[in-house]
Each structure stands twice: as C-alpha cells, then as structure tokens.
Amino acid sequence: MSHESESGLAFRDEPVEMPEWTGDLETDVINAIRTVFDPEITVNVYDLGLIYRVDIANPALIDIDMTLTAPGCPVAGEMLRRVEKAVVLAPGATGAKVHLVFDPPWDPNKMSDEAKLELGML
C-alpha cells in the first residue's frame, strides 16, 4: 500500500506483490504503470502513449511526465494519483511524482501496436 504525503508525493507503506517484477527498476516501473488503465478506454496508460517521460535517476523519487487523451478529462487528478501509487510499488522505488503535461498534445499515433490492436485500430 502507499500513502500520500503533505507534499502530494506518493510513498510506499509496505510491499505489495504485483506480477512481472524483473529486478530491473526501469522495467518494473513501466510494468507498474501498465497496471493503471484509462477508465474510459480498456487500455493501460503506458500503452495508450500517455506517459511521455520516466526519470529514474533518483529511485527515491521517480519523476514522470504524463498527458491525457483530452485536456478536460474529468478524472485527471485521479489518474495521476493512480500512476504514482502504482509506481511506488515497484521494488526499489520509494517515491513518485507525476506531472501533467499537454505539450505535445496526445494523439492516437502515440499508442503502442498492442493498444491499437486491442482497440481495433490495426
């Protein structure tokens, strides 16, 4: 489980078992992000192409830039919190901060082939 500090950062309270831990922090952070799904589209936010940057230079604070499919998304704040909470579950990660960005704007070309296939776009 994780909790949110007064600064808005998510931090791990205790380890929670998740599938596909590899021991490689970058891979594990991406696998953790892939557990977060857009509530309106049945594809995870990583394969949707909503994650623009993952900086793991400091495992105490994994820094992420994320966008949304539309700027007026009604669950924007919740999506960012879900990604933060998922990332801190990765072994070796102790904190996460997700920044909402809209430059460049998201478009369907940013999706992985797997996401396009799942949504019937391939």
What pLDDT, on a 0 to 100 scale, did the predictor assign at position 18?
A: 59
Decide if 17 contacts 85 (C-beta within 8 A).
no
Mean pLDDT score of the chain: 84
What pLDDT, on a 0 to 100 scale, did the predictor assign at position 9?
A: 45
Q: State what percent of residues in the chain have pLDDT above 90.
A: 56
Q: Is the pLDDT of residue 17 over 50?
A: no
What is the pLDDT averaged over residues 87-98? Answer: 92
When the candidates are 1.10.3720.10, 3.40.250.10, 3.30.420.280, 3.30.300.130, the CATH number that belongs to 2-117 is 3.30.300.130
What is the pLDDT averaged over residues 24-48? Answer: 91
- Write out the DSSP string of 40-100: TSSSBTTTTT-EEEEE-SSTTSEEEEE--SSTT-TTHHHHHHHHHHHHTTSTT--EEEEEE
Q: Which residue has the higher pLDDT, 25 or 74?
A: 25
Domain boundaries, the chain: 2-117
Q: Which residue has the higher pLDDT, 14 or 59?
A: 59
- Look at residue 10 and give its three-state secondary structure: strand
pLDDT in tens, 46-90: 999 999 999 998 877 899 999 998 888 888 888 999 999 999 999
Q: Is the pLDDT of residue 115 over 50?
A: yes
Question: Using 50, 70 and 90 to split pLDDT, how confident is the model at 19?
Answer: low
